[in-house]
Structure 1
């Protein structure tokens, strides 16, 4: 959380400042209309005060009453008109600005979308969208607009009074400075840190709540539900305590401000009484005009303190946005991989951020097209991390991974055309079975869909469903067994027809019979494709052309199942354990 003032953050900002220049005409128009709104309100009360006083005496000329009546009607009309135009202009400008900010945020995150899980938690992104962009919208509507308009009115009032009395103009210069500058400064010093803490707590709640909701099953299964609730109650209590302190200070500040402004009106009354009465006779009509004109102006100054105390949270939002990667200019697309689609891994190292341990350490490996490679190792050995790196979802800390001669991280979104993935728990969406299968190829014909269903052994089952392919799948596809969900995932892969398929422990949780059936189907239907099979045991290992063992991020064993069975006592022992023979 930053303590850097807003103006210092803005000097190095490339997110917000560009919009001042881009929409400078609309900004100037909104500020001018805002000034005219308060000018019209003050002028309306000024003319009304003069008219009331003048009407109470015997006017020497009807024009002395008629002209103020016309001006009263004029300012009475222009005030709401200017107010409407100011709101229309300022909100239109702000909506354009925030839409461009959101677009820039989406583009910035999208350009490195495959690494978003590495760099951000979901709650962080929600915080950026819900809190930071919203705060920057308020930066314009609640801080910049009212502050600049108040400064313009401040200068105008001092100059206008100067035409009548230089010493009272000097007094107004100093007294209004207390309302315009001192009150906001005190608010920043007292409530600014609280405002910043409130925003920080809200961002933390977004992050914690998102993470914990996504992992709520873990809380329930571990019987820590009460702890889960208590965690958020504590965070919520902290937020409410900060908000209560802010509200108490704001109420006291508002009371002091009202008293100070009341004293200003009283002082103006005393000055006007002395300036326009006595020997001036009819000029006494100006007393009510000056006093009443100050009443609507209070709205321009009253919100400055609240606006100023939020500047720290604006600075925090701007810093968070500027900490994002720069939006890269569009470049010519990289060359697509060319057959043969061999994987080449050279001196591969990978370490997760903020961790010292190397998950993978100087790994060298070649996976020729069409090979069925089984990757084994205990939990934490780097198996799944290697699979993620192969698909380009993570970037190596050092070294290189290429597919068909092209670095996988350079292929971008087109990687899905070359590599398909079947996870431990394939996800089915709440739509028709046909739509779920067509995720692999949305242009596939019904005939092609039935062909892949027959290949994966699901054709008869689907034909027996009351609505066939139009059967609605419930949330997460729970109506289907684990084996059926894996076969549906395989059907998607077959429709996509990628040359490489990664099987990330696809049989975890399946019973031995279903596991054997699923593996047999996978290996038979994926003949001719490169299959990278992440597994934790040796069931069905005979399907692999090559087996490698990872240990502490390094390659410990490698070879065909037959070679390892002949040369490696460790492999023979593990195979015997999986076969129930040891």
Structure 2
């Protein structure tokens, strides 16, 4: 499971200090628990002989000390182990977010959205239990077994070996048996679950055929047999769990029975020695807590294995970037020179020989059917993607040479802006962390949100819900636009920012966008022609190539297809 792991193993080294302390504290917890029972057993036997209090004073003190030490060590161990686990999973989440942020286009191309959400919501959180339910209990139980064997070996090494065999059965043999059985059962249940989905889907989609053929009973049989097999397999897993726990208790019962026999043979030669019988027999009972969860934790390893495989399948994509240059003080031209792009050698060519020039201050609208590569073109301009051939250049220099300063060059307004659960001011200030409250108010006023902010009791300090809930779609876009104003990036990329808005709100937002971005270079991806009068040029992207390139007025006068599309968009046809 860990042979090629790049997610879990590195953190074992990174936080090994906390890990070692967690294990030491876990062992001390059970040492204190066993010592508490040991001194208590001796105290009970010794007190039965009616000794003077001075003869048992030390044992009383030790009993109190171990009684206090056990919960203290247990509490500190829980704090230390959870601190370690939270540090590890926090680092893993940070690593996952870094991979998703830096390699988002590649991740999206090779992984389904559901897989990514599963990684974020389940797999990393699931790995917390790998340590808390499996690794820590198993290692602690192993160390406790070694300590117990060495202590018994001080008195009788032959009997210590017998106890060691029983402990190995508890810590190694039964957990390994449980792991093998659970792994086989989980694989079988995964296959049955897939079969149940397929069978139910096929049966429902073909329902009319079943009814026409009057085969209702066959339909019920087909639709339910996989589900019934899955339910039977899960019931079998539960019965196995009960059986495993029963044999664990049987093996554990052999420990006090063995100690009872051994102490009666070894410690009953005199009244003084007999006082130790209860001490040795009682000491084993607290150890049941150390061994009890090992088999259950180890049996969950197949599930952790799937989570680790999911994470390792999401490896960072290493990109070779040129030497990074300082951000240019002015940008006179953005040019795409004979750009070709395909995601890999086996995929189709998505962009084929794109040549496009945006002079400083130009406003260009890029239209085209869905799936034609418009968003991919934006990703190439930003430098998220590297052209298969050709170049995206700023002032003649490859855009990839400016990736460290990209936020100073490009601003992006897409369909759903990133708005966070913090104040309005903080959301807008993301465009410029040094912006003053007055500058934020000026930006909000420029995007026509001044009156709205003035009506709010806390003004720009009004808290926002996650994703901007509580604000309309148009207001969310205007907040993001205010952020772009503070960012002062010379090139703004608009990725269909008006999708989902009603026509009136859309028109008002378009007018605001081009009013506040009058001095910026704008490339606007849009799915229709509303507001196209605000741009200098219109370009259509079809089959990976640019078509119908010209000003809106020239295209309307000279291109019949453009006039047809314009009429359709305006509802005139």
Q: Is the TM-score greater than 0.5? A: yes
* Corresponding residue SS for 1:297: helix
Post-superposition offset of 1:95: 0.8
Give 2:175's aligned residue.
184
Between 1:469-478 and 1:319-328, the stretch displaced more is 469-478
Equivalent-residue separation in structure 2 for 1:518 and 1:23 (angstroms) = 51
Q: Aligned match of 1:311 in 296, 301, 304? A: 301
TM-score calculated relative to the size of structure 2: 0.73
Post-superposition offset of 1:70: 1.8
Equivalent-residue separation in structure 1 for 2:570 and 2:249 (angstroms) = 85
Q: Aligned match of 2:33 in 18, 38, 41? A: 41
- Name the CA shift for 1:555/1:69 in 2 (closer, same or farther; >3 Å): same
Q: Are residues 1:374 and 2:365 paired? A: yes
Give 1:226's aligned residue.
none
* Corresponding residue SS for 1:296: helix
Q: Are residues 1:342 and 2:333 paired? A: yes
- Name the CA shift for 1:349/1:323 in 2 (closer, same or farther; >3 Å): same
Give 2:163's aligned residue.
172
Q: Are residues 1:71 and 2:59 paired? A: yes
- Name the CA shift for 1:154/1:112 in 2 (closer, same or farther; >3 Å): closer
- Name the CA shift for 1:274/1:342 in 2 (closer, same or farther; >3 Å): same
Post-superposition offset of 1:520: 5.4
Post-superposition offset of 1:184: 0.8
Equivalent-residue separation in structure 2 for 1:474 and 1:39 (angstroms) = 52
Give 2:247's aligned residue.
256
- Name the CA shift for 1:101/1:264 in 2 (closer, same or farther; >3 Å): closer
Equivalent-residue separation in structure 2 for 1:90 and 1:430 (angstroms) = 32
Is the CA contact (8 Å cut-off) linking 1:109 and 1:116 kept in structure 2? no
- Name the CA shift for 1:103/1:395 in 2 (closer, same or farther; >3 Å): farther
Equivalent-residue separation in structure 1 for 2:160 and 2:456 (angstroms) = 87
Equivalent-residue separation in structure 1 for 2:55 and 2:26 (angstroms) = 26
Give 1:288's aligned residue.
278
- Name the CA shift for 1:554/1:199 in 2 (closer, same or farther; >3 Å): same
Equivalent-residue separation in structure 2 for 1:366 and 1:314 (angstroms) = 51
Is the CA contact (8 Å cut-off) linking 2:496 and 2:526 kept in structure 1? yes
TM-score calculated relative to the size of structure 1: 0.72
Equivalent-residue separation in structure 2 for 1:515 and 1:142 (angstroms) = 54
Post-superposition offset of 1:296: 2.2
Post-superposition offset of 1:557: 3.6
Equivalent residue pairs, number: 532
Equivalent-residue separation in structure 1 for 2:153 and 2:445 (angstroms) = 92
Equivalent-residue separation in structure 1 for 2:123 and 2:445 (angstroms) = 51
Give 2:257's aligned residue.
266
Give 1:150's aligned residue.
141
Q: Which runs of 5+ in 2 are unaligned?
A: 193-226
Q: Which runs of 5+ in 1 are unaligned?
A: 202-235
Give 1:213's aligned residue.
none
Give 1:535's aligned residue.
526
Q: Aligned match of 1:85 in 73, 80, 84? A: 73
Q: Are residues 1:102 and 2:90 paired? A: yes
Is the CA contact (8 Å cut-off) linking 1:102 and 1:133 kept in structure 2? no
Give 1:546's aligned residue.
537
Q: Aligned match of 2:355 in 364, 375, 383? A: 364
- Name the CA shift for 1:560/1:99 in 2 (closer, same or farther; >3 Å): same
Q: Encode CA deviations 1:141-181: one digit per residue, 9 max, x unaligned.
A: 43333323322332343344445445433432333322222
Give 2:292's aligned residue.
302
Give 1:206's aligned residue.
none
